[in-house]
Structure 1
């Protein structure tokens, strides 16, 4: 009698808790009711997405203020507006969703599980803390059906994404149609088990992006990511290592796969990672047998693998690599491939190896030796191989490719090398497979024909230009003089300027305004429209005939500094497009006037808000953090994602403009310089920038790099937190500046004392502020090597990744300490940009 009574007691207990997380045959869920998982992480109920009035049954994060739906039952069969839904367990033991219309119930979704597995009356469905919704039988712990086997657009931690080889169940993500419609969209994210398995991102049936092929290792950061491949199943899974962290991987309606995190205190999700975000993320960007290098911002990102040449050289000269590459003609080539004497393999280092859908995996047997090169040589059709090993070394073997090599990408952080088969003549050229020789020959094979063609075009166009424009007005002569490659500025290499000017790529994209039009827009440069003045000249507010408000930067007649800035900005900023960079609409060069026409930003510069008592109160912590993150993303774009690799050199709060919603935009690219793709650092004898924001290696020795901008960003970050200028002197701390002041407070575990008093205590997340202070101190490290790059800085700001401890700063950046001693120059604390300071 004891066992049946206990079973009956447990059944009653479960029935009593049904209203919390469970649906039973006697306890349905109606529209308006909500199930909540045991610890409150997830909720299940009916919802209407976005502006839609339709009703759907779904699961969402219960703890996040902004409703974030992770699963939808009836995504392609909504309940119409005005009708209502009811979820129940029917007589067959299945979960069934009915739509009640005019008093009649119509089934619109069901789990469709066999009724043979247990009695229907003993079944129940429970929402778990993992976000999984499971249908159980009372006398079994085995799931009869579970929602994680049928994901929509979201992968939750612990859920599998991939194929069950025995049952044929394929778990994959598919995007929503839009934010208002969770119906199946155009994009999907799924495991492709063919060849050596990979995770593919599709648009329709066309590959969009691709992961590394198996074997993957398990790697741990904030998340544990692993890829399992065995006889029973092949799948990808993520687990979160921090209990306090919520994780969400979602394939959005635009086709972007995003990983986001949320923890207590956040007001929104923080994006941790996304793809595709750059050109080389696109599948097959450089065609068959091509190699895509995402770091090639100054040149074409595509080159050919060793032994190959562009299929269409003309297309490649036009920066179109989609046609890919073909084998160079060779005497040793046979219909079956290459099996000649003296052939070999050229190593291409650190790549995402090609699409392995048609590759063959040869595994290493226990206790035996395996030569991947020998395995490839056995077959004349084998075009390349890679030695593959998972993290921990538990899977070792070779991937052999036959035929075309598609979607090979330089990936510096990877350990994988690709060995490409070439004939004897080509192998001799590469001196035994040297990767350096390979890179040099690839660049020369593309650049030399391109340079020859460009020079020919330049000569012809130059001749025509001289004939046509010999008698042009002073206005056109002024344009020529201002932008000639030998103008004297060292802000750009001659090759870049020649490309921009003689290639004619600036002017067609940048409109020229007449002087009369600008005079009319600014009411003849009325003092009432004057927004400010700098070393270059004045800025005026204007309104174009179409109603567009603009800011007009008018170059001072006697400003050499402004002339250089003008040239730099026209050549550079016209090419930049980012939400956090100020937009250049055009320019005016007429009579004795040179003017730049920008978008008008009503809230002017950040320093006017930050260092003003009244303005500072408008910048609560949420707004400040938003500004910090957006500035960082703008700098990251300059360093990594724009066409050129750009160092701003004059980042400061007065060069950060704010739009109507207080979103920041980086401005003033007059001091910006371009680094070549393989260039880490540049040295100049003419220092341009603002003391206090200048890194020590630049201010003293004229050396600058991406890390110089990181230093400037760190100063801005500390100013945003403290509300104090970098130029402030703390007399009570032996004339320390802001950086050393913050460091002393940090060292004494009193860092929160530096927070701007205009932000009331309790109005900000103290842990987030402390994290930002630590990031700021890391960015202003004296040693260049110790500073993070901007990609790492953005990740540190937008995720919970562990932070290293900062070191004591020894560089006083007030502008009145180390600089005058080295240069013998004078000192100023007015934040005016300086140029032309010659270092030793």
Structure 2
């Protein structure tokens, strides 16, 4: 009895705490060090104070409510912690003032971090509310957003959070890796959207470019071609006068996924997509970048092409040769490649060679027109002597309206993929248009040739099989032999469970083709009459077979019809 009372008390305590779980703070009602905010609705997120393992500081962070392994996805005061572990900071506070300023203070009410409101906000009573999306939003009495956490991501992107630039608010939304697993302060590794030219995401480690996403082609980033194989995700890329941003959503609320930047990896920067596997109770790495040698920025130098499936991985574009053959022989490809033959744009003899399955070059300095088509793009590039390559900008658009990207000068950070990628058209002198294709071009040609050969062989086999079948069937008919579908399909005695109808149910069963052939297609000339069992036809072919079968069954109705 006592144990039952204890269980009941614990249940009531749990229900009481759940009913009092709040999602909002207001002036005079701060969030204290031993309290939390829980997002409404599905209750997916918790906001509260925490201390990372191995640290001696306290931070305000956001983590998943239902994932048993605490995984912090956002930190407010990452560069300005409250000294001491969370166990000794029960009196620390997260508060919002009447003018919509959000702040974190220690036990002595000393403010260690604050977020001022946007200009024009702060009319009336302000509140800070944790939404079910995980976004902490500060708003005034009129509903004007004074500040929101999603405009200030830390190292992790969760559904609805953006990477990019909001030109309206001035928010530059970047991911910045933690300094270490025990220190969430901003480290040197940053993922940022470069909005110049055709926008793309870069990972920087200090002043060094670590990885480039490639531009968004209307479906995916050209440097992340396997995005098309993802299941359960919806990706969004906005490129307008108001903002340039990338974000994602999950198709099902049961999918828990995050995109995290950390400072590990061979190049000192790694972007990873994690999904929570409920059955295993663990995080699973769904995707990561950089993946291979060719994901490193400009691995093969200007006008060089990186192919991870070739040895060596670097080669020059068709019509180009290594600037330093000696360095190239030692696989020092930093110098890249130079043209074998100078261009002759003035006489209009230059042409363009197709490079398939490409991650297009760095578009930072590229010229983009999203309204033009590929044909117009080719004409513009042909007329512009400084244009060295062109490609479509948006593969999801209607034909003729897929945009135009044009490059001038050297082509930087080129690579190819086995099955994905984009078509790139590279300007060459007339003498180099007929030159031997590069290894990557040969590989693409081989893949196409093999695919065409397989399709042709399959078509030939199908045709041969069809004509063989037709010939066999024709011979069978000419010899008078029954076809595969003629004759009796099966002859069996019909029975009825629980009743007995005697000989009435002892009927042989014939297929429709046999009966139709025997009655000349149920011809009216062969119709003898109609009775209670339907029309009766005389049989011209297989008559003996029909009569003997029915007589053997002893069917009285057939005998009466025969007598007639």
Both proteins in one fold, TM over 0.5: yes
The equivalent of 1:656 in structure 2 is none
**Could you tell me which of 413, 438, 441 is aligned with 1:407?**
413
Q: Deviations over 1:597-634 (max 9, x none)?
A: xxxxxxxxxxxxxxxxxxxxxxxxxxxxxxxxxxxxxx
Paired residues of 2:374 and 2:392 also in contact (CA < 8 A): no
Secondary structure of 1:216 counterpart: coil
Do 1:92 and 1:115's aligned partners in 2 also have CA atoms closer than 8 Å? Answer: no
Structure 1 unaligned runs (5+)?
1-15, 442-677, 681-840
Secondary structure of 2:326's match? helix
In structure 2, distance between residues paired with 1:139 and 1:166: 19
Task: Work out whether 1:252 is the aligned partner of 2:262.
Answer: yes
1:106 CA displacement:
1.4
Q: Could you report, residue by residue, the CA deviation over 1:536-595 in whole angstroms, capped at 9, with x for unpaired residues?
A: xxxxxxxxxxxxxxxxxxxxxxxxxxxxxxxxxxxxxxxxxxxxxxxxxxxxxxxxxxxx
RMSD: 2.7
Deviation at 1:91, TM superposition (A): 3.6
Matches within 5 A, 1:228-627: 228-254=238-264, 255-296=269-310, 299-330=311-342, 332=343, 338-364=345-371, 370-391=375-396, 393=398, 396-430=402-436, 438-439=441-442
Higher relative contact order (CA 8 A, sep 6+): 2
| Alpha-carbon shift at residue 280 of structure 1 (Å) | 0.6
The answer on 1:112 being equivalent to 2:116 is yes
Displacement of 1:216 = 2.9
* CA separation of 1:269 and 1:436: change in aligned 2, threshold 3 A: closer
2:38 pairs with 1:36 = yes
**Cα-to-partner distance string for 1:152-196 (whole Å, 9 max, x where unaligned):** 000111112111123322101000001010010111111100111
Report the Cα distance in structure 1 between the residues aligned to 2:419 and 2:397, rounded to whole angstroms.
Answer: 17
Count, aligned residues: 413
| Aligned-residue offset at 1:379 | 1.0
Give per-residue Cα distances to partners, 1:77-118, cap 9 Å, x unaligned. Answer: 111116632111224231111122xxx321111120158534
Contact 1:201–1:210 under 8 Å retained in 2: yes
Change (3 A) 1:162 1:380: same
Please say which structure displays the higher CA radius of gyration: 2
**TM-score normalised according to structure 1 size:** 0.47
2:68 to 41, 58, 65: 65
Tell me the secondary structure at the aligned position of residue 245 of structure 2: strand
Q: Aligned partners of 2:349, 2:123: CA distance in 1, in Å?
A: 72
**2: distance between equivalents of 1:277 and 1:116?**
45
Given the superposition, is the C-alpha separation of residues 150 and 198 from structure 1 closer, same or farther in structure 2, using an over 3 Å criterion? Answer: same
* 2:129 alignment partner, SS class: strand
Separation (CA, whole Å) in 1 of partners of 2:382 and 2:403? 16
TM-score by length of 2: 0.69
Once residues 168 and 56 of structure 1 are traced to their aligned partners in structure 2, the CA distance between those partners, rounded to angstroms, is: 26
**1:70 is paired with a residue of what secondary structure?**
strand
TM-superposition CA deviations, 1:400-455 (whole Å, max 9, x none): 1000100111023435111111111111325xxx67795489xxxxxxxxxxxxxx
Matching residue within 175, 178, 199 for 2:177: 175
1:197 aligns with 2:209: no
Does the 8 Å contact 2:178/2:187 carry over to 1? yes
3-state SS of 2:234 partner: strand
Cα gap change, 1:440/1:30 in structure 2, threshold over 3 Å: closer, same or farther?
closer
In 1, the alpha carbon distance for the partners of 2:370 and 2:450 equals 40
SS in 2 for 1:426: helix
Q: Where do 4+ consecutive residues of structure 1 move more than 4 Å?
A: 16-19, 434-438
- List gaps (5 residues or longer) in structure 2: 1-17, 221-227, 452-564
Matches within 5 A, 1:636-651: none
Structure 1 residue aligned with 2:130: 127
Pair 209,360 (structure 1): closer, same or farther in 2 beyond 3 Å: same
